[in-house]
């Protein structure tokens, strides 16, 4: 490890250097990795096209830095601890050597299925070590993985498979989730009716449940790895070769495929993992995310494994078999760093303190939070009852597009403040602008958060549509990356994220585009038009409120509301189901036909007057009706 921050003055010193001499700074970090060929230049960039390249012409394979490199020094250290959904099932542990062998065997199997560098592989799997093995096997042979969270519906899965034209899909027979069993191979079968690019499906046997295997297309995981060598030469990748695509929601249209490349992503995720969490060799680190989200990519798999860490993967949910499950796991595996989302904290808070009884949490050193703003109450509960007042909380702000943590305390070093992501990590140059793009300098300001200089793990494009990437992130404010988040910088220069300023909502830490949910609702045959907004929700952070105009002949409102929820469930998945559906006879529109979402948001929040300027409103009676029938 080249740079490990150990003191506050050390942080300030490195931060200064990273801004004044970014090339020298990142060179120093990158030197600690294994490169097949050294880079020619550290960074080349312009935010107009945009074009960003890090470690230009460097050659490497990220899995050599995860696997081969660690074999020399700690082959027998545990790489992955796996905790199953059912606490009575056996825990699995894989050492670095075992992980190396299993990744290589599966890499050879993928090559045998005809996969080559650049081909896309969709992974739709439960939280089992094979999901991580699948990711690393793709990276080993240069195939591009695109993980789709296994809670998404067959339609959502098909959309993603088709967008990246995946050749192979990796899945399992079924998936355990709390007390439920979900037949995910059947979901894959359904989506493949609409996905012609897929040549093979590899199915991991997880539950032993019955599945249909299509001759010539579907293969069992255990069959394809049978007899494969535990050695597999790693493909030589350019720094800027694609590592993975991850679909995420934006304010318009369909989810976009955020593209991350190899060299910069490797350097940044490892650097941030080790520093933010202050990970030391031998610690047990646990991030509760799913590998289907960016947090699982960067801080369950890549960052920790690049650091030679022991990373825990949990298959289940926080409340199964009861609300003490997280604390059982911390106790059982003596977890040192624990990283979760505010929504999980708030959900567990509702169960009171009984679930902590008899659980020894004294191994914990650092607590992390990610995915949405953490409210002060949840912050204190986390700090007092989970950390017993001893553990620093790192409130980490970042995004799918940023690849790694951007604003965060360094554990135990940066003084924390509840609900503040505090300060930028080395290499990150935030800037706050007003609506017009004017920089708001100094402290005690509030505006839109942009980043003015590239960092190694930033997105390079949106798959198959570079213009969309430019439009979405680089056109709102000239020469800057626009995050879509509002932010405040307080009197101490500390950053507090205020939430999205665009039409993206954050439900239980999951990103959702309001347009995406509206499109799904509109698929219901009786729906004429709909408008979706977020509203404050005690546990989920934000809930989904849908206003729907529908043909009510032969239907009761209650019936239709349920059907609409079911339609969304089918088209996107359970995470996008509206919490509230209100059938309306009209939507508040301007004379030019634009929906006045501001009014809808206020009504959903429970505010029924003071709508600001409504002079452009076409028909005020619509608003009265909406208020009267508010859910
Ligand atoms: C929000 C998740 C406040 C934010 C890593 C961002 C946060 C979006 C925080 C990205 C935080 C993430 N405090 N808000 N610590 N972390 N967000 O792409 O609105 O799933 O833009 O990445 O989540 O969500 P994504």
CA of 45 from ligand 1 middle (Å) equals 25
The answer to whether 181 and 190 have CB atoms below 8 angstroms apart is no
Residue 468 has φ and ψ, to the nearest 5°, of -65, -40
The residue written with tokens 């069993």 in the block is 181
The predicted pLDDT at position 143 comes to 98
Mutating to test ligand 1, I would choose from 273, 342, 346, 399 the residue with most ligand atoms within 8 A of its C-beta, which is: 399
Ligand 1 touching residue 502 (CB < 6 A):
no
The predicted pLDDT at position 617 comes to 87
Q: Cβ-count burial of 229 within 10 angstroms (0-12 exposed, 13-18 middle, 19+ buried)? A: exposed
Structure letter (DSSP) for residue 212: -
Ligand 1 touching residue 373 (CB < 6 A):
yes
* Residue 419 C-beta-side C-alpha neighbours within 13 Å: 13
Mutating to test ligand 1, I would choose from 152, 259, 459, 506 the residue with most ligand atoms within 8 A of its C-beta, which is: 506
Could you list the mean pLDDT of each consecutive 10-residue stretch along the chain, which spans 631 residues? Answer: 90 98 98 98 98 98 97 95 98 98 98 98 98 98 98 96 98 97 98 97 97 98 98 98 96 90 98 98 97 98 98 97 98 98 96 97 98 96 98 98 98 98 98 96 97 98 97 96 98 96 93 94 95 96 96 86 96 96 94 90 90 84 93 89
Structure letter (DSSP) for residue 341: -
Within 10 A of 72 (CB to CB), how many other CB atoms are there?
7
Contacts with 525 (C-beta within 8 Å, 6 or more apart), sequence order? none
Q: Which three-class secondary structure string do you get for 525-544?
A: CCEEEEEEEEEEECCCEEEE
Which residues are bridge partners to 581 per DSSP? Answer: 546
Nearest atom (ligand 1) to Cα of 511: 20
> Tokens in use for 404?
């790694």
The predicted pLDDT at position 558 comes to 85
Query: Exposure string (b/e) for 421-451, b if CB count within 10 Å is 16 or more?
Result: bbbbbbbbbbbbbeeebeebeeeeeebbbbb
The predicted pLDDT at position 185 comes to 98
The predicted pLDDT at position 556 comes to 86
Residue in 201, 236, 187, 205 with CA at minimum distance from that of residue 109: 201
Structure letter (DSSP) for residue 91: P
The predicted pLDDT at position 251 comes to 81
CA 3/CA 10 separation, integer angstroms: 10
Q: Give the pairing type, strands 180-182 and 175-177.
A: antiparallel
Residues 111, 461, 39: CA angle, nearest 5 degrees: 70
CA 268/CA 266 separation, integer angstroms: 6
The predicted pLDDT at position 296 comes to 98
Mutating to test ligand 1, I would choose from 342, 397, 448 the residue with most ligand atoms within 8 A of its C-beta, which is: 397
Ligand 1 touching residue 508 (CB < 6 A):
no
Q: Using CA positions, which residue lies closest to atom 15 of ligand 1?
A: 397
Structure letter (DSSP) for residue 476: S
The predicted pLDDT at position 1 comes to 52
The residue written with tokens 């020619």 in the block is 40
Residue in 288, 335, 305 with CA at minimum distance from that of residue 508: 288
Ligand 1 touching residue 256 (CB < 6 A):
no
Q: What is the full DSSP assignment across 254-270?
A: S-EEEEEEHHHHHHHHH
Nearest atom (ligand 1) to Cα of 369: 15
The answer to whether 118 and 145 have CB atoms below 8 angstroms apart is no
Q: Using CA positions, which residue lies closest to atom 25 of ligand 1?
A: 399
Ligand 1 touching residue 63 (CB < 6 A):
no
């Amino acid at each position: 490890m080249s740079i490990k921050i150990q003191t506050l003055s050390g942080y300030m010193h490195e931060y200064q250097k990273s801004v004044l001499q970014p090339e020298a700074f990142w060179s120093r970090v990158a030197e600690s990795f294994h490169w097949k060929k050294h880079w020619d230049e550290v960074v080349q960039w312009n935010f107009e096209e945009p074009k960003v390249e890090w470690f230009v012409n460097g050659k490497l394979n990220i899995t050599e830095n995860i696997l081969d490199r660690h074999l020399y020094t700690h082959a027998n250290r545990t790489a992955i601890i796996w905790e199953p959904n059912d606490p009575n099932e056996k825990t699995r542990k894989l050492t670095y050597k075992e992980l190396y062998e299993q990744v290589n065997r599966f890499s050879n199997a993928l090559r045998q299925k005809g996969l080559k560098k650049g081909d896309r592989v969709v992974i739709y799997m439960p939280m089992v070590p094979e999901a991580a093995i699948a990711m690393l096997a793709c990276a080993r042979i240069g195939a591009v993985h695109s993980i789709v969270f296994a809670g998404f519906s067959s339609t959502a899965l098909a959309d993603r498979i088709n967008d990246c034209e995946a050749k192979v899909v990796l899945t399992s027979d079924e998936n355990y989730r709390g007390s439920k069993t979900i037949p995910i191979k059947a979901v894959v079968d359904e989506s493949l009716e609409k996905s012609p690019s897929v040549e093979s499906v590899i199915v991991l046997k997880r539950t032993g449940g019955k599945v249909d295997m299509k001759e010539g297309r579907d293969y069992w995981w255990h069959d394809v790895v049978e007899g494969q060598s535990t050695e597999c030469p790693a493909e030589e990748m350019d720094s800027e070769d694609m590592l993975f695509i991850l679909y995420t929601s934006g304010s318009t249209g369909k989810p976009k495929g955020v593209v991350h490349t190899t060299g910069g992503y490797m350097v940044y995720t490892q650097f941030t993992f080790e520093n933010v969490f202050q990970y030391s060799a031998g610690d047990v680190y646990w991030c509760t995310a799913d590998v289907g989200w960016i947090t699982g990519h960067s801080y369950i798999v890549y960052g920790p494994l690049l650091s030679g860490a022991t990373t825990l993967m949990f298959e289940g949910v926080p409340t199964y078999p009861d609300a003490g499950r997280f604390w059982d796991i911390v106790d059982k595996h003596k977890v040192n760093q624990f990283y979760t989302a505010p929504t999980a904290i708030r959900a567990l808070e509702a169960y009171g303190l009984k679930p902590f009884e008899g659980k020894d949490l004294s191994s914990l050193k650092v607590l992390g939070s990610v995915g949405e703003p953490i409210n002060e109450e949840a912050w204190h509960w986390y700090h007092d009852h989970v950390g017993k007042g001893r553990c620093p909380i790192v409130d980490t702000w970042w995004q799918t597009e940023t690849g790694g943590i951007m604003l965060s305390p360094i554990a135990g070093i940066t003084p924390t403040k509840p609900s503040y992501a505090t300060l930028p990590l080395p290499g990150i140059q935030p800037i706050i602008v007003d609506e017009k793009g004017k920089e708001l300098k100094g402290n005690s300001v509030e505006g839109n958060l942009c980043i003015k200089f590239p960092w190694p793990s930033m997105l390079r494009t949106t798959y198959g549509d570079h213009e969309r990437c430019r439009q979405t992130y680089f056109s709102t404010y000239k020469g800057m990356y626009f995050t879509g988040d509002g932010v405040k910088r307080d009197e101490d220069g500390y950053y507090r994220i205020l939430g999205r300023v665009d039409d993206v909502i954050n439900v239980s830490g999951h990103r959702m585009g309001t347009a995406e949910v509206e499109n799904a609702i509109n698929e219901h045959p009786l729906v004429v038009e709909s408008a979706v907004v977020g509203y404050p929700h005690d546990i989920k952070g934000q809930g989904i409120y849908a206003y729907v105009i529908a043909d009510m002949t032969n239907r009761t409102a209650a019936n239709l509301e349920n059907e609409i929820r079911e339609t969304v469930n089918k088209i996107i998945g359970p995470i996008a189901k509206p919490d509230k559906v209100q059938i309306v006879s009209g939507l508040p529109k301007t004379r030019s036909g634009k929906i006045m979402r501001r009014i809808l948001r206020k009504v959903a929040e429970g505010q029924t007057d003071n709508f600001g300027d409504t002079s452009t409103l076409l028909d005020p009676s619509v608003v009265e009706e909406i208020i009267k029938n508010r859910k």
